[in-house]
Chain A
């Protein structure tokens, strides 16, 4: 279980998150949602150790992740697909996937699995990442994180700005990860995606938690979620 306990974090002296706590379970998708500026990206960055915590802690299977230096966090099995993809644009598809395998170097099968899941990456294997289309870049960002064989996968708005066919492809990959027993934390603002994928939905507003909804609660009270998102 990935557990956040009273996590407060921010940028410099500006505090963004205030005492956020939730638990992401293996084989489930936890949707983290809220309007712009609610603190969703700050939460996943805090889990990755890319922002120092002001208070609280992040634990994974009992180990305190927030005590580790940031480069040790992925070694604990935490994969990250950041908002805006943030690929290594000057590198080829092959090299981006190679970076994903750095903590998992001996596992040759994972590369095959990723290329089978996203055959477009195989076609573009020697092409620079920055020359790919938006959808292909998102596939590469997902593939790069999957190369890590993560036990926890943090996805920050992975379908933002994509065409419908790509959105389906990314959602399928997300569900596959869940079905393999990965704990998925999905930052999402689309109501349909949250309703379809979320086993748990954490509502954030101005850096504070406003509640946790189960799948059943989302299904029975869709207006509550819609109101929270302002749609």
Chain B
């Protein structure tokens, strides 16, 4: 394959990674932004989402599309409720103290991971995509000074991957609308900006915290349900999304939603392109290097506000 089609293929693969990463990282950014909690267990909520997606599709046992549709609705709710309960029983008790919440979420990480290992087992298990038509993509060439289209061998993408990109876009727009246009978003933003003033105006801050922690985890679970037909469910699959989400959130600016989405695009696309042309390891090395540069030259991230 020529360089052009090859680059297009890599970009599309990167777009899938970026889409899922944007969803996962948005959850992490939301939790940090509103609660100032660094949720080290975020990757495990992602893992739980994929494992539960497998479980739900097995339970429903109808066609792949029905099982997947049920998983898409039920799994984020289940994971969100579990996270909200975790918030109320663990994080609230330690008064959301920044240092202790890090230790607590590390504990939650191991509990979720080991319980999954004990119940689900160590195997990676596939979930069938609801649809998976291979779509051949055209490229162009100049013949006798005119542009002509042709279909290079191997330049294709599945309809499911395109659907993942589209679904992620729709979900991110919905999240943005909730944050900026709804009453719940107003309560979350008020809590984010000044916890005491939020309380002084009747906002039940602890309930908002539980909701935000649940919503953050549900976002990770939703991303996992979308990606599990491509990646397979495994009890150790939470580490990579966690690392990449932290990278994205730091580059985008802690708590900044537009920054998170743009950084996810940057990291996802570069991850896809570098992985295809060179190696996935190099992609991770470069992403980590970018984080180091951002921390040195712009610690608040590309779109984050300076905190005093």
Contact = CB atoms under 8 A, between A and B. Distances in A.
B204 A71 contact: yes
A49 B189 CA distance: 21
Contact of B200 (A80, A89, A95, A98): A80
Interface string B196-213: 111111111100000000
B196 A148 contact: no
A72 B205 CA distance: 11
A5 to B, nearest CB: 22
Contacts of A98: 186
Interface string A59-81: 00000000001111111000010
Interface in B175-218: 186-187, 189-190, 193-194, 196-205
A90 interface: yes
Given A71-B199, A102-B202, A95 B193 contact: no
Nearest to B204: A71
Interface string A115-151: 0000000000000000000000000000010001000
Given A95-B186, A99-B186, A71 B193 contact: no
Given A50-B196, A86-B197, A88-B194, A71 B189 contact: no
A193 interface: no
A89 B189 CA distance: 11
A103 B187 CA distance: 12
A158 interface: no
Best-buried of B187, B190, B194, B200 by chain A (most CB within 10 Å): B200
B197 A75 contact: no
A75 B202 contact: yes
A80 B196 CA distance: 11
B189 to A, nearest CB: 6
B183 to A, nearest CB: 8
Contacts of A31: none
A219 interface: no
B196 A74 contact: no
Interface residues of B, number: 16
Q: How large is the interface on A (under 10, 10 to 19, 20 to 34, 35 or more residues)?
A: 20 to 34
A90 B189 contact: yes
Nearest to B200: A80
A160 to B, nearest CB: 17
Contact of B203 (A71, A86, A148): A71
A71 B202 contact: yes
Contacts of B186: 91, 95, 98-99
Contacts of A73: 200
Contacts of A50: 196, 199-200
A103 B199 CA distance: 11
A99 B198 CA distance: 8
A48 interface: yes
Contacts of A74: 200-202
Given A82-B197, A86-B194, A91 B189 contact: yes
Contact of B190 (A69, A88, A148): A88
A144 B199 contact: no
A49 B186 CA distance: 22
Contact of B189 (A75, A86, A88): A88
Contacts of A89: 193
Given A50-B199, A82-B200, A90-B189, A71 B194 contact: no
A102 B203 contact: yes
State the 7 A-B residue pairs at the shortest beta-carbon distance, nearest first. A103-B202, A74-B202, A70-B199, A88-B193, A80-B200, A71-B204, A71-B199
Interface of A: 48-50, 69-75, 80, 82, 86, 88-91, 95, 98-100, 102-103, 144, 148
7 contacts: A70-B199, A70-B200, A90-B189, A90-B193, A99-B203, A103-B201, A144-B201
Given A70-B200, A71-B204, A91-B186, 7 more contacts: A48-B199, A71-B205, A86-B194, A88-B193, A91-B190, A95-B189, A98-B186
